[in-house]
Structure 1
């Protein structure tokens, strides 16, 4: 019974529109759109409007409607604190292929069908392309958060925090193992649900 409920939740999340959405002041600033991509098997980051958000915490997922790239929506971070404003993603935490149409989804930690925000679709590109320039990421006016990305050829104007290479400090270690396990359960649950529907 639990796996069926999990599968139905995964299916509901998988149908989230690919157009950017936000509620409660939470908007995903990066990645998203043509100028804010991720690099394949490299540290990447997620930046959001923590200053305007009314949500103290949320779950972060990655999604793609192209099942040849991602078979099911996958949890990246089970509980992320809003006040962090950005989160680096360790390349060992998430193994997804090169491609277009990816979105980041933020949901209620207790009810994953309660979607808070969805990013614009973005691409995962090869390392040779390099990180997007810092100036490509919008600024969170409510908290004066500046992009945590970096460019190998560009430079930042104004204050910027985070590490070079386009990523803020990452979640790894035990947390990544827990998330990897939950992602596998979610993907398996989605498959069970799909088979039950057919």
Structure 2
């Protein structure tokens, strides 16, 4: 039986590079959206492409990290930050140009920031892993934002309705999973402060 401890993967790896790429893409995405000026022209399509590429890197870096055993502490911190920068900036931009109600953006941002801070508060007691509901929330948010971003959406009432419905479903899942995370954080904290309790 060997006592050899497997070396920790270096932070300099492909998944983390993809995460950094996603962060770097955010200002370019913002620039393309703002520079379009509401004309729904080529720059808006560039914003859509940048959003899709950034979202794909999120899936790709996770798949590679798990398959190759390259999960790092840096990745655990940087990955959700990159996601929230991208999703958050998209929501704010859509609300700023009047394509999405501000209250929807505010509720989603408060939930995202609040749960992120909550994770740091209870990290001494344990890690709150992403739940299936949390992953579903991210998928729904991504799909809704993608449809909203499409330059053709405002001209097609049925597509605008699809975007609205998916966004409202994403909002509901966002709130429900937010409450669920708060409950889990409370249970984690209680168990950590009272380890003898069953």
If the TM-score is normalised by the length of the shorter chain, which range does it land in? under 0.3
Higher relative contact order (CA 8 A, sep 6+): 1
TM-score (structure 2 length as normaliser) = 0.27
Q: Which structure: larger Rg?
A: 2
Which protein has the bigger strand share? 1
Which protein has the bigger helix share? 2
